[in-house]
Amino acid sequence: MQPRIPLYLLTGFLGSGKTTLLNQLVKTSEFANSLVIINELGSTSLDHLLMTHSQEEQVVELASGCICCTIRSDLSKTLRDIVWRFSRQGRKQFDRVLIETTGLADPAPVLHTLMADPKIADQYRLHGVVTCVDSVNGLSTLREHFEARQQAAVADLILLTKQDLPEAMPVADLTSALRPLNPLAQIALAEQGQADWQLIGQLDHAEPVQSDTPLQSWLRFTPLADEPQLTPELQLNAHGDAIQAYSFELAEPIPMPKFELWLNELLALKGPDLLRMKAILHIQGFPGPMVIHGVQHLFHPAAFLTQWPNADRQSKLVFITRNIPRELLAQSVQMLRP
Protein backbone atom coordinates (compact mmCIF):
# COMPACT_ATOMS: atom_id res chain seq x y z
CA MET A 1 0.00 0.00 0.00
CA GLN A 2 1.26 3.50 -0.87
CA PRO A 3 1.92 5.74 2.14
CA ARG A 4 -0.81 8.29 2.50
CA ILE A 5 -0.09 11.89 1.54
CA PRO A 6 0.06 14.28 4.50
CA LEU A 7 -2.70 16.88 4.33
CA TYR A 8 -3.02 20.13 6.28
CA LEU A 9 -6.00 22.44 6.49
CA LEU A 10 -5.26 26.13 6.97
CA THR A 11 -8.16 28.24 8.08
CA GLY A 12 -8.90 31.52 9.83
CA PHE A 13 -11.26 34.41 9.27
CA LEU A 14 -10.98 36.95 6.43
CA GLY A 15 -7.71 38.85 6.66
CA SER A 16 -6.39 36.82 9.57
CA GLY A 17 -3.07 36.13 7.81
CA LYS A 18 -3.54 32.72 6.16
CA THR A 19 -1.96 33.61 2.82
CA THR A 20 0.90 35.48 4.49
CA LEU A 21 1.62 32.36 6.54
CA LEU A 22 1.30 30.01 3.58
CA ASN A 23 3.75 32.07 1.54
CA GLN A 24 6.38 31.63 4.23
CA LEU A 25 5.49 28.03 5.00
CA VAL A 26 6.15 26.85 1.44
CA LYS A 27 9.63 28.39 1.66
CA THR A 28 10.62 26.05 4.47
CA SER A 29 12.49 22.88 3.51
CA GLU A 30 9.83 20.61 5.03
CA PHE A 31 6.94 22.17 3.13
CA ALA A 32 8.78 23.29 -0.03
CA ASN A 33 7.42 20.41 -2.05
CA SER A 34 3.80 20.99 -1.07
CA LEU A 35 0.89 21.28 -3.38
CA VAL A 36 -1.33 24.15 -2.34
CA ILE A 37 -5.08 24.15 -2.89
CA ILE A 38 -6.60 27.55 -2.56
CA ASN A 39 -10.30 28.22 -2.33
CA GLU A 40 -11.38 31.79 -2.83
CA LEU A 41 -14.81 33.31 -2.67
CA GLY A 42 -15.80 35.32 -5.70
CA SER A 43 -14.84 35.02 -9.30
CA THR A 44 -11.35 36.54 -9.18
CA SER A 45 -8.99 34.55 -7.10
CA LEU A 46 -6.64 37.06 -5.53
CA ASP A 47 -4.94 34.45 -3.42
CA HIS A 48 -3.73 32.68 -6.50
CA LEU A 49 -1.99 35.86 -7.58
CA LEU A 50 -0.60 36.37 -4.11
CA MET A 51 0.96 32.95 -3.82
CA THR A 52 4.69 33.28 -4.23
CA HIS A 53 5.24 29.63 -4.77
CA SER A 54 8.39 28.59 -6.56
CA GLN A 55 6.47 26.36 -8.93
CA GLU A 56 3.39 28.16 -10.06
CA GLU A 57 1.89 24.96 -11.43
CA GLN A 58 1.74 23.51 -7.97
CA VAL A 59 -0.99 25.87 -6.89
CA VAL A 60 -4.41 24.50 -7.65
CA GLU A 61 -7.33 26.83 -7.55
CA LEU A 62 -10.81 25.64 -6.76
CA ALA A 63 -13.68 27.24 -8.58
CA SER A 64 -15.47 30.13 -6.93
CA GLY A 65 -17.75 29.15 -4.11
CA CYS A 66 -16.89 28.01 -0.69
CA ILE A 67 -15.49 24.53 -0.08
CA CYS A 68 -17.52 24.15 3.04
CA CYS A 69 -20.84 24.38 1.22
CA THR A 70 -21.21 24.48 -2.53
CA ILE A 71 -18.08 22.79 -3.75
CA ARG A 72 -17.25 20.07 -1.29
CA SER A 73 -17.46 17.56 -4.11
CA ASP A 74 -15.01 19.73 -6.09
CA LEU A 75 -12.58 19.43 -3.24
CA SER A 76 -12.93 15.65 -3.23
CA LYS A 77 -12.49 15.52 -6.97
CA THR A 78 -9.50 17.87 -6.91
CA LEU A 79 -7.81 15.76 -4.25
CA ARG A 80 -8.40 12.62 -6.27
CA ASP A 81 -7.21 14.21 -9.53
CA ILE A 82 -4.06 15.94 -8.40
CA VAL A 83 -2.23 12.70 -7.76
CA TRP A 84 -2.13 11.88 -11.46
CA ARG A 85 -2.29 15.48 -12.70
CA PHE A 86 0.89 16.33 -10.87
CA SER A 87 2.80 13.19 -11.69
CA ARG A 88 5.72 12.80 -14.05
CA GLN A 89 6.72 9.33 -15.23
CA GLY A 90 4.61 7.73 -12.56
CA ARG A 91 6.07 9.80 -9.71
CA LYS A 92 4.01 12.43 -8.05
CA GLN A 93 5.64 15.83 -7.91
CA PHE A 94 4.62 16.82 -4.40
CA ASP A 95 4.81 15.24 -0.99
CA ARG A 96 2.23 17.20 1.02
CA VAL A 97 -0.99 19.02 0.39
CA LEU A 98 -1.97 22.28 2.02
CA ILE A 99 -5.56 23.46 1.70
CA GLU A 100 -6.32 27.09 2.46
CA THR A 101 -10.02 27.64 3.06
CA THR A 102 -11.84 30.89 2.49
CA GLY A 103 -12.07 33.13 5.51
CA LEU A 104 -15.79 32.40 5.74
CA ALA A 105 -15.56 28.63 5.61
CA ASP A 106 -17.01 26.50 8.34
CA PRO A 107 -14.21 23.92 8.56
CA ALA A 108 -16.28 21.19 10.22
CA PRO A 109 -17.92 19.93 7.00
CA VAL A 110 -14.59 20.22 5.19
CA LEU A 111 -12.98 18.01 7.83
CA HIS A 112 -15.90 15.69 7.47
CA THR A 113 -15.28 15.39 3.73
CA LEU A 114 -11.58 14.76 4.28
CA MET A 115 -12.26 12.01 6.79
CA ALA A 116 -15.44 10.45 5.43
CA ASP A 117 -14.78 10.13 1.72
CA PRO A 118 -13.15 6.69 1.55
CA LYS A 119 -11.24 7.49 -1.63
CA ILE A 120 -9.71 10.53 0.06
CA ALA A 121 -9.09 8.86 3.39
CA ASP A 122 -7.28 6.02 1.55
CA GLN A 123 -4.93 8.42 -0.17
CA TYR A 124 -4.51 11.24 2.31
CA ARG A 125 -3.85 11.49 5.97
CA LEU A 126 -5.09 14.62 7.68
CA HIS A 127 -2.25 15.83 9.88
CA GLY A 128 -3.71 18.98 11.27
CA VAL A 129 -5.93 22.02 11.23
CA VAL A 130 -4.07 25.31 11.63
CA THR A 131 -6.21 28.35 12.40
CA CYS A 132 -4.97 31.94 12.18
CA VAL A 133 -6.50 34.39 14.64
CA ASP A 134 -5.85 38.09 14.12
CA SER A 135 -4.60 39.65 17.38
CA VAL A 136 -6.15 43.03 16.56
CA ASN A 137 -9.65 42.15 15.30
CA GLY A 138 -9.70 38.53 16.32
CA LEU A 139 -11.91 38.68 19.38
CA SER A 140 -14.61 40.87 17.88
CA THR A 141 -14.61 38.66 14.78
CA LEU A 142 -14.89 35.56 16.93
CA ARG A 143 -17.76 37.07 18.85
CA GLU A 144 -19.65 38.14 15.75
CA HIS A 145 -19.06 35.23 13.39
CA PHE A 146 -19.99 31.70 14.21
CA GLU A 147 -17.69 30.40 11.45
CA ALA A 148 -14.72 32.08 13.13
CA ARG A 149 -15.55 30.28 16.39
CA GLN A 150 -15.86 26.99 14.54
CA GLN A 151 -12.46 27.62 12.95
CA ALA A 152 -10.90 28.11 16.37
CA ALA A 153 -12.81 25.20 17.89
CA VAL A 154 -11.59 22.56 15.42
CA ALA A 155 -7.97 23.75 15.34
CA ASP A 156 -5.04 21.60 16.36
CA LEU A 157 -2.83 24.68 16.30
CA ILE A 158 -4.01 28.27 16.69
CA LEU A 159 -1.58 30.89 15.41
CA LEU A 160 -2.04 34.41 16.74
CA THR A 161 -1.04 36.81 13.97
CA LYS A 162 -0.21 40.54 13.98
CA GLN A 163 1.28 40.68 17.46
CA ASP A 164 3.76 43.20 16.01
CA LEU A 165 1.00 45.83 15.72
CA PRO A 166 0.57 48.25 18.63
CA GLU A 167 -3.21 47.62 18.72
CA ALA A 168 -2.69 43.88 19.25
CA MET A 169 -4.42 42.39 22.23
CA PRO A 170 -2.04 40.78 24.76
CA VAL A 171 -1.36 37.11 24.08
CA ALA A 172 -2.48 36.15 27.59
CA ASP A 173 -5.92 37.73 27.04
CA LEU A 174 -6.36 36.12 23.63
CA THR A 175 -5.36 32.77 25.07
CA SER A 176 -7.81 33.10 27.97
CA ALA A 177 -10.61 33.95 25.55
CA LEU A 178 -9.80 31.09 23.18
CA ARG A 179 -9.33 28.36 25.79
CA PRO A 180 -13.05 27.85 26.52
CA LEU A 181 -13.58 27.25 22.80
CA ASN A 182 -10.68 24.88 22.41
CA PRO A 183 -8.68 23.56 25.34
CA LEU A 184 -6.87 21.05 23.13
CA ALA A 185 -5.16 23.23 20.56
CA GLN A 186 -1.67 24.55 20.97
CA ILE A 187 -1.59 28.35 20.78
CA ALA A 188 1.48 30.05 19.31
CA LEU A 189 2.46 33.18 17.39
CA ALA A 190 2.88 33.92 13.69
CA GLU A 191 4.42 37.28 12.95
CA GLN A 192 4.38 38.50 9.36
CA GLY A 193 3.86 34.88 8.34
CA GLN A 194 6.80 33.55 10.38
CA ALA A 195 6.06 30.85 12.90
CA ASP A 196 7.77 27.98 14.64
CA TRP A 197 7.42 25.60 11.70
CA GLN A 198 8.10 22.56 13.83
CA LEU A 199 4.72 23.09 15.46
CA ILE A 200 3.05 22.52 12.10
CA GLY A 201 5.44 19.73 11.07
CA GLN A 202 4.69 17.81 14.25
CA LEU A 203 0.92 17.95 13.95
CA ASP A 204 -0.69 14.56 13.84
CA HIS A 205 -4.40 14.91 13.99
CA ALA A 206 -5.41 11.54 12.68
CA GLU A 207 -3.23 8.97 14.31
CA PRO A 208 -1.65 10.60 17.31
CA VAL A 209 -0.90 7.38 19.04
CA GLN A 210 1.18 6.00 16.21
CA SER A 211 3.34 9.07 15.96
CA ASP A 212 6.35 10.02 18.04
CA THR A 213 4.36 12.72 19.74
CA PRO A 214 4.10 11.71 23.37
CA LEU A 215 0.58 10.91 24.37
CA GLN A 216 0.52 13.45 27.18
CA SER A 217 1.09 16.28 24.78
CA TRP A 218 -1.50 14.96 22.35
CA LEU A 219 -4.10 14.76 25.04
CA ARG A 220 -3.09 17.81 27.00
CA PHE A 221 -5.65 17.51 29.64
CA THR A 222 -6.36 20.54 31.73
CA PRO A 223 -9.63 20.20 33.58
CA LEU A 224 -11.79 23.13 32.57
CA ALA A 225 -13.66 25.33 34.93
CA ASP A 226 -17.41 24.90 34.33
CA GLU A 227 -17.84 28.64 33.98
CA PRO A 228 -14.52 30.28 33.21
CA GLN A 229 -14.19 33.59 35.02
CA LEU A 230 -13.63 35.91 32.10
CA THR A 231 -14.33 39.60 31.80
CA PRO A 232 -17.18 40.31 29.33
CA GLU A 233 -14.56 41.59 26.89
CA LEU A 234 -13.00 38.12 26.70
CA GLN A 235 -16.23 36.14 26.43
CA LEU A 236 -16.87 34.91 22.93
CA ASN A 237 -20.23 33.18 22.97
CA ALA A 238 -22.38 36.27 23.15
CA HIS A 239 -24.84 35.44 20.37
CA GLY A 240 -26.38 32.05 21.07
CA ASP A 241 -24.80 29.30 18.99
CA ALA A 242 -22.53 28.55 21.91
CA ILE A 243 -19.35 26.63 21.24
CA GLN A 244 -18.20 25.23 24.52
CA ALA A 245 -15.58 22.78 25.68
CA TYR A 246 -16.18 20.40 28.55
CA SER A 247 -13.96 17.89 30.25
CA PHE A 248 -14.80 14.92 32.45
CA GLU A 249 -12.88 12.35 34.45
CA LEU A 250 -13.99 8.91 35.51
CA ALA A 251 -12.29 6.90 38.23
CA GLU A 252 -13.80 3.44 37.63
CA PRO A 253 -12.63 1.27 34.70
CA ILE A 254 -15.30 1.17 31.98
CA PRO A 255 -16.85 -2.10 30.74
CA MET A 256 -16.31 -2.33 26.97
CA PRO A 257 -20.01 -3.05 26.14
CA LYS A 258 -21.02 0.08 28.05
CA PHE A 259 -18.52 2.13 26.14
CA GLU A 260 -19.83 0.88 22.78
CA LEU A 261 -23.44 1.55 23.73
CA TRP A 262 -22.58 4.98 25.08
CA LEU A 263 -20.65 6.07 21.99
CA ASN A 264 -23.36 4.87 19.60
CA GLU A 265 -26.05 6.71 21.52
CA LEU A 266 -24.05 9.88 21.88
CA LEU A 267 -23.19 10.01 18.19
CA ALA A 268 -26.73 9.22 17.11
CA LEU A 269 -28.18 11.96 19.30
CA LYS A 270 -25.53 14.65 19.21
CA GLY A 271 -23.01 13.68 16.49
CA PRO A 272 -23.25 16.83 14.37
CA ASP A 273 -22.78 19.04 17.41
CA LEU A 274 -19.68 17.29 18.68
CA LEU A 275 -17.11 19.39 16.91
CA ARG A 276 -14.19 17.53 18.43
CA MET A 277 -13.78 14.87 21.00
CA LYS A 278 -10.69 13.26 22.45
CA ALA A 279 -10.59 10.70 25.21
CA ILE A 280 -8.17 8.41 26.95
CA LEU A 281 -10.22 5.65 28.54
CA HIS A 282 -9.53 3.00 31.12
CA ILE A 283 -11.39 -0.01 29.72
CA GLN A 284 -11.81 -3.05 31.96
CA GLY A 285 -9.41 -5.86 31.21
CA PHE A 286 -6.87 -3.92 29.13
CA PRO A 287 -3.33 -3.20 30.35
CA GLY A 288 -3.12 0.20 28.70
CA PRO A 289 -5.65 2.91 27.87
CA MET A 290 -7.87 3.12 24.82
CA VAL A 291 -7.55 6.38 22.93
CA ILE A 292 -10.42 7.70 20.86
CA HIS A 293 -10.61 10.79 18.76
CA GLY A 294 -13.35 12.15 16.56
CA VAL A 295 -14.80 15.00 14.56
CA GLN A 296 -18.59 15.19 14.62
CA HIS A 297 -19.88 11.64 14.17
CA LEU A 298 -16.68 10.38 12.58
CA PHE A 299 -14.23 8.56 14.74
CA HIS A 300 -10.75 7.40 13.95
CA PRO A 301 -10.31 3.73 14.83
CA ALA A 302 -9.77 3.37 18.56
CA ALA A 303 -6.14 2.75 19.51
CA PHE A 304 -5.02 0.65 22.44
CA LEU A 305 -1.75 1.50 24.13
CA THR A 306 0.27 -1.26 25.71
CA GLN A 307 0.86 0.83 28.82
CA TRP A 308 -0.29 3.99 30.54
CA PRO A 309 1.79 7.11 29.97
CA ASN A 310 1.94 7.85 33.72
CA ALA A 311 0.57 6.71 37.08
CA ASP A 312 -2.84 8.31 36.53
CA ARG A 313 -5.40 5.62 35.64
CA GLN A 314 -8.48 7.83 35.38
CA SER A 315 -10.40 8.04 32.12
CA LYS A 316 -10.39 11.55 30.70
CA LEU A 317 -12.74 12.93 28.09
CA VAL A 318 -12.68 16.31 26.37
CA PHE A 319 -15.55 17.50 24.17
CA ILE A 320 -15.77 20.64 22.05
CA THR A 321 -19.45 21.11 21.40
CA ARG A 322 -21.98 23.33 19.73
CA ASN A 323 -25.10 24.09 21.72
CA ILE A 324 -24.88 21.11 24.06
CA PRO A 325 -25.52 21.90 27.73
CA ARG A 326 -22.94 20.57 30.15
CA GLU A 327 -25.56 18.64 32.19
CA LEU A 328 -26.54 16.60 29.17
CA LEU A 329 -22.98 15.45 28.53
CA ALA A 330 -22.38 14.90 32.24
CA GLN A 331 -25.42 12.57 32.36
CA SER A 332 -24.25 10.81 29.24
CA VAL A 333 -20.76 10.22 30.68
CA GLN A 334 -22.40 8.63 33.74
CA MET A 335 -23.56 5.82 31.42
CA LEU A 336 -19.95 4.67 31.29
CA ARG A 337 -19.90 3.73 34.97
CA PRO A 338 -19.80 -0.02 35.67
Ligand X SMILES: Nc1nc2c(ncn2[C@@H]2O[C@H](COP(=O)(O)OP(=O)(O)OP(=O)(O)O)[C@@H](O)[C@H]2O)c(=O)[nH]1
Interface contacts to ligand X, rule CB under 6 A? 12, 14-20, 47, 103, 132, 161-162, 164-165, 191-193
CB-based burial label for 214 (10 Å; 0-12, 13-18, 19+):
exposed
128 vs 275: CA distance, rounded Å: 15
Say what angle helices 107-116 and 146-153 make with each other, to 10 degrees: 40
Q: Work out whether the CA dihedral 106, 21, 86, 57 comes out positive or negative.
A: positive
Nearer to ligand X, 103 or 208 (CB): 103
Please state the closest distance from residue 19 (CB atom) to ligand X, in A. 3
Q: CB of 36: closest distance to ligand X in angstroms?
A: 12
Longest CA–CA span in the chain (Å) reads 60
Whole-number Å distance between alpha carbons of 131 and 12:
5
Nearer to ligand X, 12 or 253 (CB): 12
Give whichever of 10 and 181 is closer to ligand X, judged by the CB atom: 10
For ligand X, the closer of residues 17 and 180 by Cβ is 17
Q: In one letter, which amino acid is 113? A: T
Give CA–CA dist 138/134, Å, rounded.
Answer: 4
CB of 61 to ligand X, least distance (A): 13
Smallest gap, in angstroms, from Cβ of residue 174 to ligand X? 13
Question: How far is Cα 148 from Cα 103, in angstroms, rounded to an integer?
Answer: 8
Nearer to ligand X, 20 or 150 (CB): 20
Shortest Å, Cβ 17 to ligand X: 3
CB of residue 175 to ligand X, shortest distance in Å: 17
Burial category of 207 from C-beta neighbours within 10 Å (exposed 0-12, middle 13-18, buried 19 and up): middle
- Please, which residues bridge with residue 290 across strands? 281, 304
Q: How far apart are CB 159 and ligand X at their closest, in Å?
A: 9
Give the nearer residue to ligand X in terms of CB position, either 19 or 321. 19
**Distance in Å, CB of 70 to ligand X, minimum:** 17
Comparison of 18 and 282: residue with beta carbon closer to ligand X: 18
Neighbouring residues of 289: CB distance < 8 A, sequence distance ≥ 6: 280, 281, 282, 283, 304, 305, 308, 309, 315
Nearer to ligand X, 194 or 284 (CB): 194
